[in-house]
Amino acid sequence: MSSRRDFLKKSSLLGLAGIASNLVSNNQLNTLENIGEVTNQSNQAFKLPPLPYAFDALEPFIDKQTMEIHYTKHHQAYVDKLNATPSTNIDYQSTDQIKCTHIDNTTTSVIRNNLGGHYNHSLFWTLLMPNPEGKPNTPSGKLAAVINTSFTNFDEFKKQFSEKAATHFGSGWCWLVYQKGKIVIETTVNQDNPLMRLNLKNPLEPTKYPILALDVWEHAYYLKYQNKRKDYIENFWKIVNWQQAEKLFLEVEKL
Ligand SMILES: [Fe+2]
């Protein structure tokens, strides 16, 4: 038999569910208890990761104010929304990367958008690095070799990626992704990413893993560049952390 405390907890959850005045079966109560557990699990499930450099570290290519707002307001908002939106469709024990691979066309937009927003930005911060003097910055090692094989040379890769990022309509991301032995450039809308299982023609299609990411939402560049997305993209190449991109590539090519 339920204690008064349990009863109050269940009543509270019933209120949250908007059916407080209804009589409920034991099964329904169990479901509501599960909602309570999910709430507890998700309360602090997502955290804003530490930024690996100071807000002004990417100057003069990304300005301090943009970085501060982008990280403390935009990224924080995705985290807060996720923590405020408990979902039985999220495996809270898995990594954020694996969580993204569970997103499909049936996922609610609030989870899809905010999980994508959180994962994409967490990745993006690590793929940038300070280079205040704008020294030449190109990939090396195995990733450089694969880029050369796939796109003829680095300049051709850079040109194709830049064009794709510049011509993407509206908000979204441009990616270099690895998919079962090959690397390709693609864009996604809003906060979608290549890990998500969206609009698949073949449900057995292998997972696409991001190696490089570029945020082309206006909030990423508008304060400094206004409508000149191409200038932002051109300067992005100066601060790409190729060492991190190479690390991501080496991790996924083994899968
Ligand atoms: Fe962003």
Same domain, yes or no: 121 and 37: no
Q: What is the pLDDT of residue 192?
A: 98
Ligand 1 centre distance from Cα of residue 170 (Å)? 13
Same domain, yes or no: 23 and 147: no
Q: How confident is the model at residue 88 (pLDDT cuts 50, 70, 90)?
A: confident
Same domain, yes or no: 122 and 190: yes
Q: How many residues does the chain have?
A: 255
* Average pLDDT rounded to a whole number, residues 20-35: 36
- Say if 239 falls within a structural domain: yes
Residues 238-251 have pLDDT tens digits of: 999 999 999 999 99
Ligand 1 centre distance from Cα of residue 25 (Å)? 45
Ligand 1 centre distance from Cα of residue 221 (Å)? 9
User: How many structural domains does the chain have?
Assistant: 2
Ligand 1 centre distance from Cα of residue 46 (Å)? 17
Ligand 1 centre distance from Cα of residue 243 (Å)? 22
- Say if 48 falls within a structural domain: no
97 to 12, 13, 168, 169, 213: CA distances (angstroms): 34, 31, 24, 26, 14
- Say if 28 falls within a structural domain: yes
Same domain, yes or no: 30 and 74: no
Asked if residue 132 has a cis previous peptide bond (ω within 30° of 0), the answer is: no
Helix (H, G, I), strand (E, B) or coil at 237: helix
Ligand 1 centre distance from Cα of residue 88 (Å)? 27
Same domain, yes or no: 34 and 65: no
Residue 79 structure tokens: 């985290």
Ligand 1 centre distance from Cα of residue 117 (Å)? 7
Q: What percent of the chain has pLDDT over 70?
A: 83
Could you tell me the residue range of the domain that residue 37 belongs to? 4-43
Asked if residue 50 has a cis previous peptide bond (ω within 30° of 0), the answer is: no
Same domain, yes or no: 15 and 101: no
Same domain, yes or no: 159 and 205: yes
Is residue 175 a contact partner of residue 193, using CB atoms and an 8 Å limit?
yes
Ligand 1 centre distance from Cα of residue 232 (Å)? 13
Q: How confident is the model at residue 43 (pLDDT cuts 50, 70, 90)?
A: low
Helix (H, G, I), strand (E, B) or coil at 188: strand
CATH number at residue 136: 3.55.40.20
Same domain, yes or no: 33 and 71: no
Ligand 1 centre distance from Cα of residue 173 (Å)? 9
